[in-house]
Amino acid sequence: MGLSWKERVFTALLGVAATSGLTMLILILVKATNVFLPADTKFGIVFDAGSSHTSLFVYQWPANKEKDTGVVSQALTCQIEGPGISSYASDPAQAGESLKSCLEEALALIPQTQHQETPTFLGATAGMRLLSQKNSSQARDILAAVSQTLSKSPVDFWGAKILTGQDEGAFGWITINYVLGMLLKYSSGQWILPEERMLVGALDLGGASTQISFVPQGPIGDQSTQATFRLYGANYSIYTHSYLCFGRDQVLRRLLAELAQRSPVGPVRHPCYHSGYQATLSLAPLYESPCVHTTDSLNLTQNVTVEGIGNPGDCVAALQRLFNFSSCKGQEACAFNGVYQPPVHGQFYAFSNFYYTFHFLNLTSRQPLNIVNDTIWRFCQKPWKQVEASYPGEEHWLRDYCASGLYILVLLLEGYKFSEETWPSIQFQKQAGGMDIGWTLGYMLNLTGMIPAEALTQWRAQSYSIWMAGVVFAVLTLVAILGAAAVHFFWTQD
């Protein structure tokens, strides 16, 4: 006796279920390919404790790295309220307290599960270098206070220290070349070293120091000015030097003190202040800095009247007296103060106070040197009342932009030996590639070489079309099984 129609339907549905189920299994197992899931993201925190203020930066990079160096990007920047940490010499605990608000903002960004493995570092620059010279115990107390605050937070605290000027210059050079794609670039689905790299120089002007860093054409003649490092599998050797007491704030202090020493009686006639400007100042705070040297003829307990005369020629002459150019006579490879420097070579990026001063003067569009010079001179010759009316809300630094602009010209042209021919090689920038230019990113790149890389996670996956076919066969299998069950149920009811 043959099979009934119910038995034939039931057998057919079971056959369909078995066939489609087997097909789905083959698609899943045989047609799958090996894929690598994206690497976990690592984070790092760096505090830049400058002479006038402190900034926090959060950086991130894939955990697998490229040739032992992380591909780092900037995730957050936070400006800490108040002055630089060197200003808390009389109350070191406040230096630590000042960091907390920005640190909380950083920790809110970083996943909580990664807090304890996030390297955190505080680097203090020229302001703390000066304080360490003046009073080493106060500098130690401040570093101890910020270390106590950061070590209590749920991060991997790597320490707080005073950076050397050479480190600050070298890390700044790494930063600018990295963000411009000179150290690494993405091409054809992978990270590679650029074939034709035009490495650029770095010019940094802080509040207390200035740095110059670049790759010279020939060998570096003074090993103390050479910095070497390895990034993305390549070795680098650059010239770098830092000049303490030649940052903007300290130069302005030294300039005012030098003019006051030349006018021990009567008002101080300041050629870099605009005509019509007048103020009564105390000289005593000027001499708190190790950069400013006093003379016996000055009475520091008395206030002095300072009058602006708006004479850019005399201002340049006064600024030149802050340099020792005579120590380089007869030496080609020399900048000033007897410091070795090979001739400048290549393109340069000028940032920090180089940028802020020239941005105020509207001189960041690579204008020719004669236009830059004329613009600054015309600004210096404007009466103070006209300047005040033209720049409302800029009162804090307004009187100093003339001196700052002329100082930059003296430093770059007479100090670092740029010329009218090489001037167009300088670009004044605050950011490049969407990231702030400074030493912190260069430090983090260097630090990633000390953090173990993590291998990419391997997984089995299908293409979209194979995945869709698998879904169709899975649904068909389920429908066939449910149909067979229904036929069997009604079969048994009969």
Which are the catalytic amino acids? 168
Is 80 exceeded by the pLDDT of residue 488? no
What pLDDT shows up at residue 463?
58
Classify each residue of 395-405 as buried b or exposed e, where b means 16 or more C-beta atoms within 10 Å of its C-beta: eeebbbbbbbb
What pLDDT shows up at residue 28?
61
Q: Is residue 336 part of a domain?
A: no
Tokens 């007897």 identify what position?
A: 338
Q: Is residue 288 part of a domain?
A: yes
394/241: higher pLDDT = 241
Question: What would the pLDDT profile of 230-274 be if each residue is shown by its tens digit?
Answer: 888 888 999 999 999 999 999 999 999 999 888 877 799 999 999
Do 257 and 209 share a structural domain? no
Q: Is residue 211 part of a domain?
A: yes
341/298: higher pLDDT = 341
Residue pair 58/74 in contact (Cβ under 8 Å)? The answer is: yes
Do 134 and 158 share a structural domain? yes
What mean pLDDT comes out for the span 339-362?
96
Residue 370 burial (CB count, 10 A): 10
What mean pLDDT comes out for the span 148-165?
94
What CATH number does residue 84 fall under?
Answer: 3.30.420.40
Residue 110 burial (CB count, 10 A): 22
Q: Is residue 326 part of a domain?
A: no
Question: What would the pLDDT profile of 415-437 be if each residue is shown by its tens digit?
Answer: 999 999 999 999 999 988 778 88
List the binding residues for ATP.
Answer: 207-211
Do 177 and 64 share a structural domain? yes
Residue pair 21/6 in contact (Cβ under 8 Å)? The answer is: no
Is 90 exceeded by the pLDDT of residue 399? yes
Residue 156 burial (CB count, 10 A): 15
List the binding residues.
Answer: 207-211
What mean pLDDT comes out for the span 209-222?
95
Instruction: Looking at 215-333, list the stretches that DSSP marks H as alpha helix, in order from N- to C-terminal side.
Output: 248-262, 312-320
| Residue closest to 270 by CA, chosen among 298, 208, 323, 312 | 312
Interatomic CA distance for residues 160 and 231, integer angstroms: 24
What mean pLDDT comes out for the span 102-109?
96
Lowest mean pLDDT among 6-10, 113-117, 231-235, 274-278: 6-10
What pLDDT shows up at residue 449?
65
Is 60 exceeded by the pLDDT of residue 344? yes
- Count of structural domains, the chain: 3
What average pLDDT does the chain have? 86
What CATH number does residue 269 fall under?
Answer: 3.30.420.150
What pLDDT shows up at residue 124?
95
Do 468 and 374 share a structural domain? no
What pLDDT shows up at residue 457?
40
Which domain, by its residues, includes 261? 248-321+365-428
